Amino acid sequence: MDVEKLTAIDVHTHAEIGRDGRGSLSPELLAASGAYFRSGAPRQPGIDETAAYYRERRMAAVVFTVDAEHATGHPRIPNEEIAEDCARHPDVLIPFAGIDPHKGRAGVREARRLVEAHGVRGFKFHPSLQGFAPDDPMAFPLYEAIEELGVPALFHTGQTGIGAGVPGGGGIRLRYSNPMLVDDVAATFPDLRIILAHPSFPWQDEALAVATHKPSVHIDLSGWSPRYFPPQLVRYANTLLRDKVLFGSDYPVLTPDRWLADFADLDIKPDVRPKILKDNAARLLGLTTDKESRP
């Protein structure tokens, strides 16, 4: 991957459909997400289409699915499949994996295999969808393995459109996505690189506190148009967290075209913009060795 030629690195995109045509969510939850984001039936681009989309824009993208088989009973898209498909597009795609922490030692073995044999560069957790609290010791062996492997862990935080409007929210508990639960993870595993995904409504101040206090914790800005970012998030992005805030879109739910158009109108300092769009992610993902760019 030629980082110098990239205009941006999107750290938050979804693999929504597998080779067999099966989606990453049940039809009920997928429909609820589409209604929440007012996008109708959500698009489900394959890996090749995603690669072409980002290549056309001279961007790179982190791609992942979520493994929530324990809580939802819905089979995941295989991590190996996503990694293999991303490997056909190493100039623009960076594979992450999803592992359900309920899988215990089997999940730990899978994490090691995915990084060592399949080129996976990080892991995505969605605590509300997966039905676990991030600070549950059940997940600690998996975090320990990820820390040892030296790759990031990305945690969904805040509200989710998945299950919104479905009776009982589809059984999805929002409290599992409070970023303060990830603070315990950062304290217990200080060398684990962590990304708090999304403006963390209704816990934005908690997310800013965690990212300011814990050196290993970053924030991605996916899932929201920048025009709706809370003012304290913009203020911290311009100052204390200027080296720890990352561009993410949530593609295909929110496109980078829409996100970047609104970001252009956001009150971000000129010297901070390239950090958010590319430089911070390149450093965090190990795509650059520029020591001078480290915070």
pLDDT tens-digit series, residues 155-214: 999 998 777 778 888 888 999 999 999 999 999 999 999 999 999 999 999 999 999 999
pLDDT of the residue at 42: 57
Q: What counts of helices (H) and strands (E) characterise the chain?
A: 13, 9
Q: What is the mean pLDDT of residues 140-145?
A: 98
Q: What is the mean pLDDT of residues 13-29?
A: 72
Place of tokens 């050196």: 215
Lowest mean pLDDT among 65-74, 123-132, 230-239: 65-74
Quote the number of domains for the chain. 1
As a three-state string, the secondary structure of 168-183 is: HHHHCCHHHHCHHHHH
148 exposed, middle or buried (CB, 10 Å; 0-12, 13-18, 19+)?
middle
Domain CATH for 66? 3.20.20.140
Q: Indicate if the pLDDT at residue 31 is higher than 70.
A: no
Q: What global pTM score does this model have?
A: 0.91
Of 240, 189, 196, 247, the C-alpha closest to 217 is 196
- The answer to whether 71 and 53 are in contact (CB under 8 A) is no
Of 165, 128, 130, the C-alpha closest to 38 is 165
- The answer to whether 60 and 9 are in contact (CB under 8 A) is yes
Place of tokens 């950062």: 186
At a CB cut-off of 8 Å and minimum separation 6, what does 59 contact?
6, 7, 8, 9, 10, 92, 256
- The answer to whether 72 and 26 are in contact (CB under 8 A) is yes
pLDDT of the residue at 287: 93
162 exposed, middle or buried (CB, 10 Å; 0-12, 13-18, 19+)?
buried
Its domain, for residue 131, covers: 3-293
Q: Indicate if the pLDDT at residue 32 is higher than 80.
A: no
pLDDT of the residue at 283: 97
| Measured CA distances, 138 to 105, 143, 172, 260, 278 (Å) | 10, 10, 19, 38, 34
**Angle subtended at Cα 176 by Cα 174 and Cα 180, rounded to the nearest 5 degrees:** 115
Amino acid present at 145? A
d(CA 148, CA 96): 16
At a CB cut-off of 8 Å and minimum separation 6, what does 167 contact?
none
